[in-house]
Amino acid sequence: MIRHTKIARDAAVKAKTQAMQPLKSIIVSAPADLRERLEGIHGRVTLVHHWAALRPGPMTSTTASAKAALRAIARRRLMLHQEIDTTVL
């Protein structure tokens, strides 16, 4: 039983770690105004929470699409973090 739980938890840890790469890639290619607004935010956890709370609005600009992508991936990362924390080994 523990082995099965550990496999599931390890997969969640791996997915959580891998979620940072697309977040970083989106920031690099995001419009300058969005990057500038994020410069003052320090700490990975703070950034992920900020990204998860973004409100992209209508998909009429590259800023909106970047915000939507950041929000979706950040929320997935937060769900994985919660899954990892609640997994009992």
Work out the average pLDDT over 27-39: 93
Query: What are 49-87's pLDDT values in tens digits?
Result: 999 999 999 999 999 999 999 999 999 999 999 999 998
**In contact, 80 and 2? CB cutoff 8 Å:** no
Number of domains in the chain: 1
pTM confidence score: 0.89
Which single residue is written with the structure tokens 């969005």? 34
What is the span of the domain harbouring residue 36? 2-86
Q: pLDDT tier at 14 (50, 70, 90 boundaries)?
A: very high
Q: What is the mean pLDDT of the chain?
A: 94
Q: pLDDT tier at 1 (50, 70, 90 boundaries)?
A: confident
Dig out the tokens for 64 from the structure.
């909106």
Q: Distance between alpha carbon 78 and the CA centroid of its chain, in Å? A: 7
